[in-house]
Every structure is written in C-alpha cells, then in structure tokens.
A and B are shown apart, each in its own frame.
Chain A
Amino acid sequence: MKQSFLCLLLLMHVCLHAQDVRVQAHATCNGRHIQESDTLPGGIIPETVRFYLTGFQFFRNGRQVFREENSYHLVDREGTWTITVPEYDEIAFNLGTDSLVNVSGALGGDLDPTKGMYWTWNSGYINVKLEGISPMSKGRNNGFGLHLGGYMPPFQTVYLVKSPATATGGIRIELDVCPMLEKVDWQQHHNVMSPSAEAVRLAKLLGQSIRVYAE
C-alpha cells in the first residue's frame, strides 16, 4: 500500500517535471558544422556523412530517470528532434546501433532498409557512413567509402557516450569527423565495407570525438 502510494507520488513528480528537450545533432570538422559543399583540411570533400545516434538515457544523481523508447535516430549531416523527459543531470547514448536490432529482421522508421544503412549481402546496420573524395585516397577517382558497422564480437563498432548535462533546455551533439579522417590509411583502407578491425578502430576514433553541450 505504502509502496504503491510512493510509486504514485513518484509518477506525479515525473509528470509534473517532464519537459521537452530539443536534441540537435551535427557532423563537424574541428568544431565547425560541415555544410553541403565544404572542403575539409587535406582537400577532403565529404559527400555523405550519416550516422545513427541511439538508446538515449537520462540520469539524475546517478540513477536512470528516463529511457527513450524505440530510440533510433539517423542523422544525415544534421538532425533535430525532441524528447520529453523528467529532470536530469547526465545523459547517455550510443553512436551506432545495438546488437538486438541487428538481428531482428525488417524494421521501420529510421531503421528502414530503404535508408541505405543496412548491408545487403552481410546482415547488419552500417552505423556510420562517410563517403566522398580525398586527394590522398588510392581509390578510383580518389573516392573513399567508410561504412563502419559490425555488431558481433570481435568486430563490435557501437560506442557508448556518457556526458554530464547540467543545463536542461537542450542538447547539442557534435560528431567531429576530422580527427578520425586524419588517421585514415588512405593507401590501404580508403574503402571499409564490412565489419573488420579497421572499422572498429575508426568507429572508436569517431566515438571519442563526440562532444555534448547542454544549453
């Protein structure tokens, strides 16, 4: 009895303090938003920059207070959406998809295979897709294609990001691709098209270059 009363109180508390949080995600290069026709350092022209941000969780005093249902957001260079959450002081999310959705068959919304983020010949989501031209690339016409994915050990590419978020009006997430692009092996690995050690290495570099700003 007492417990359910407490439960009710908690629920009311949650409802009263629920708020809409605007999440903005951007692909950046050394802190600057990447625009449509940008040329990045080294003469790199990024034609495609797409990635999944998934599994949003919110914490307060170290305890999870909210977990977004069906939390899969495909960001195409940039993206904005809103989440209704109770008060929080910390957030967590993944760069990339969890292993469960990789083995669950056909899914819709941002996970629909028409989005071009699902490998056709070897099941699994492409967590990050970076395509374009790099003068350093040994590929045909200096092209490159980094399709980073893989959900099975030893080639798991999903990267968990956790960050304090003290202001609670909005969240800006920046994925800085340039520190990673500096470390691409343009001679041998200008095309990464399947789960591999190279995909894991690059995905980790990207994960480490995510910055979260609470505003």
Chain B
Amino acid sequence: MPSRFVCLALTAVVLLSAATGDPVVVPVPPGWPAPRYDQARNPLTTAGIALGRRLFYEPLLSRDSTVSCSNCHLSFTAFTHVDHALSHGIADRIGIRNAPALMNLAWSSSFMWDGAVNHLDMQALAPISNHAEMDFDVAGVVERLGNQEKYRKMFEAAFGSDIITGERLLKAVAQFELTLVSANSRYDRVTYGKDTFTMQEKNGYELFKKHCNSCHTEPLFTSCQFENNGLKPDTTLNDRGRAGITGNPADEMKFRVPTLRNIEISYPYMHDGRFKRLKDVLNHYTSGIKDSPTLSPLLKDSIKMDSNEKTDLIAFLLTLTDRDFLFNPDFRPQRDSTN
C-alpha cells in the first residue's frame, strides 16, 4: 500500500511538471474581492490559455463546422452578440436569450441569465449541445480535435500529454475566459486617482450609488444575485428566469444581475435584448416597472429622475467602457504563426 501511494505521488509530480507553458494567475485589481474560481483545480498556463483561445474561435465545435463561440461573443463588443436581441447560431436558428457580455468571469458564482450553470468549466457544454447554437456534443468535439495533429500538440503543451478529454477541453476554454478581465475603464482610473470625473459624471455617479449600486454593486457592478427588476413578461418567450431552474415560485421572473461594465457597447439590453438604448433602460426604471409578487422591494417605489439626471447617469455609465479590454489583441483569434 505505501509503495502504491509513493508511486501515485510520483506520477502526479511527473504529470504536473510535464505540462509546459508558464504559470499564469488571474490578476486581481486593487480593491477587488478574491476570485471565486478555484485556480488550484485548473492552474492557468500560457499554453492552456493559448489552447482555450484557439478553441473559442474554432468552428469545429459546431455540428456543421460553421459556428464558433465568437459568432455570438465578439471581442470588440465585450464578447456580446451586438445588435442581436436574441442570439442566433447554427442554420440561423434563433435562441431564446440575448448573449451576455463576457468579462470578469473569475468572480462569478453562477452563469447564464438564470444561473443554470454552476461552474465556468461546465458552461461551454451548453452552447456546444444547444440545438439553436452549435447543435453538437462534447464527445464528438473531442473525437474531431483528436484527429488533428495541431490540437494534439496544443493539448500536450497545455496538459502534459496529447490525450484529449472533455475535462481538458473544458478547462482550456475556461482558462482563456478567465483572462478576460476588464478593470481599466475611466471609472477605474478615477478610483485609483489617475483621472477625474467631469461634474456631470460625478452627479451621475452619485445617482448611481443611490439608485443602482445595491444590485449593480461596485467594483464588479453586479451583486451576482437573482432579482426581478420589473420587466413585463414577454408572452412569446415565457421565460420564467431563475424559477425555471429551481421550480420555486419565489424565483419567478428573477434573472441574474448583469454587470454594467462596458455597458455602452453591449446593447441590446436585458435577457431578451428588449431595449436598444441606455435611455430606454432608464425609462424602464423610472416609469416602466411592472409590479408583481417577486418584484425587488428596492423597485416597489419607482425611481424618480428628471431628464437631466438621466443624462448625468448615462454619462457615468459611459465611464465604464474599457478600451484596453475591447481592443486587447490577446483576446482576438491567433494568427497561425503565433501558436
């Protein structure tokens, strides 16, 4: 028995050291909480991230090899499907929800608008097998990639052997996604004393703290909780939100509070993309709230803001745009020479 243990321990050491690529840690901006993602279970390396990035742009992940993750999550638009209320995928089938922006995923405790996915690793299974998205299955993807010398090499570099498994595939995609950190907007630079707000933005910030911060909580601009923010149910979609997962009537019409970082870019807004402009969103909060038993108590008395205040609040929201994030060359597809 003890010899078996020693043998196992040695194997583990060999396996770990065989994985090449320099170790990488998700950067934690000053003042932010610790990431929720347990990197000890999936240590990031340059090789793992490069593989994940390659996979993110790989149409082979879809049944007919036409759709990659980037079809709906575009780097220039904070990884959202800009201008599409409901994302469409393979054979132009329309999905039922708006593609959320992807950023700061290391800090999320659940994924999807209704929190259906409990871990970032497992998220990619959903689009790969969704009929309206990539319409394939992970076993098929693993088999396809295994036929390619290029991928066998990349898996070897990332995980120490060229065996492709579902676990490794998902972990590589997660590694790339974990690097999508947006923390260098004007708002951040003001926080760090490197920039200042205009009077208008300052006013807007005060209004934000008063009316919005309890759900869209700084510094991530989300509380990661599920809330009903008073949207009128869309009877053509009948989306119950969180209640569709838990079956609990108390969760009816609750959706996960989305981040407001890069909100200027990630229109249209809400889970079904019903609003095109930030102005429409603010009008919703001041005069469109639909009362219901699960409506957040914070929104029972509608928010009062005049049109100047709305303009100020929007000016503040625009300071959350992070150009370094949107135009980061590391987030775009690799050129083949830069494998």
Contacts and interface: CB of A to CB of B under 8 A. Distances in A.
B128 to A, nearest CB: 7
B1 A14 contact: yes
Interface stretch (B57-65, B166-174, B264-272): B166-174
B138 A113 contact: yes
B41 interface: yes
A50 to B, nearest CB: 14
Contacts, number: 78
Interface in B45-92: none
B167 A108 contact: yes
B58 to A, nearest CB: 17
Contact of B138 (A18, A114, A124): A114
Interface string A80-97: 000010000000000000
Contacts of B165: 108, 112, 114
B188 to A, nearest CB: 29
B103 interface: no
Contact of A123 (B42, B122, B167, B246): B122
A106 B170 contact: yes
B34 interface: no
Contact of B122 (A105, A108, A116): A105
Contacts of A196: 247
A114 B169 CA distance: 10
A132 B158 CA distance: 40
A26 to B, nearest CB: 25
B174 A103 contact: no
A113 B122 contact: yes
Interface in B109-142: 116-122, 125-126, 128-130, 137-139, 142
A103 B137 CA distance: 21
Contacts of B126: 120-121
A105 B41 contact: yes
Q: Is the interface of B mostly helix, strand, loop or mixed?
A: helix
Nearest to A195: B247
A118 B120 CA distance: 14
Contacts of A111: 167
Given A15-B2, A114-B142, A123 B118 contact: yes
A112 to B, nearest CB: 5
A113 B118 CA distance: 15
Contact of B129 (A106, A120, A155): A120
A105 B138 CA distance: 15
Contacts of B139: 114-116
B245 interface: yes
23 contacts: A18-B1, A104-B41, A105-B42, A105-B119, A105-B120, A105-B121, A106-B119, A106-B122, A106-B167, A106-B171, A108-B165, A108-B168, A111-B167, A112-B165, A114-B139, A114-B165, A120-B126, A120-B128, A121-B126, A122-B117, A123-B117, A123-B119, A155-B247
Given A102-B118, A103-B118, A107-B167, 20 more contacts: A105-B38, A105-B42, A105-B122, A106-B119, A108-B165, A108-B167, A112-B167, A114-B165, A115-B166, A118-B122, A118-B125, A120-B125, A120-B126, A120-B130, A120-B138, A121-B116, A121-B129, A122-B117, A123-B118, A196-B247
